């Protein structure tokens, strides 16, 4: 089986979010999450890239791993998924967690008719205003 790094791994490593397709792994750098589905991985990766391209100007940073703070990527992952969940608004979800990222992305694709139709600019404020949890 091919091992794909989850596009939203920061959310899963904290155990605040869940994903049916995510599988915990240990890498040289510490805990990580691998996606068990090629299709789900490609879908989530494309969505994350769209979120990132939409949000980076609002953060005032460029897409450069040497100069971009890691916290910006984490805020895009957490805030983007929470914003997407809020936008889909089923009313039964906990506003601070996502139980199944794969299901959420699938619902969004179904509602909007494809990944490219998901309105990422609608959750830029969710990404920029997301507050990172402090380490203990």
Q: What is the DSSP letter of 94?
A: -
Which pLDDT does position 135 carry in this prediction? 63
Residue 91 has a pLDDT of 61
pLDDT tens-digit profile of 3-42? 799 999 999 998 889 999 999 998 887 888 999 999 999 9
Q: Which residue has the higher pLDDT, 5 or 95?
A: 5
Tell me the per-residue pLDDT of 42-79, one tens digit each, with 9 for 90 and over. 999 999 999 999 999 999 999 887 888 999 999 999 99
Q: Is the pTM of this model over 0.85?
A: yes
List CB contacts of 19: < 8 A, sequence separation 6 or more: 6, 8, 12, 33, 35, 100, 101, 102
């Amino acid at each position: 089986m091919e091992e794909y790094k989850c596009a939203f791994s920061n959310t899963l490593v904290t155990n605040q979010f869940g994903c049916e397709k995510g599988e915990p792994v240990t890498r040289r750098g510490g805990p990580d999450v691998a996606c068990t589905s090629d299709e789900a991985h490609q879908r989530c990766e494309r969505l994350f890239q769209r979120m990132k391209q939409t949000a980076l100007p609002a953060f005032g940073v460029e897409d450069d791993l040497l100069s971009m703070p890691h916290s910006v990527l984490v805020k895009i992952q957490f805030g983007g998924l929470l914003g997407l969940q809020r936008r889909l608004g089923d009313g039964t979800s906990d506003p601070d967690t996502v139980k199944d990222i794969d299901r959420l992305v699938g619902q969004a694709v179904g509602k909007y008719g494809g990944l490219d139709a998901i309105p990422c600019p609608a959750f830029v404020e969710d990404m920029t205003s997301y507050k990172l949890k402090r380490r203990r």
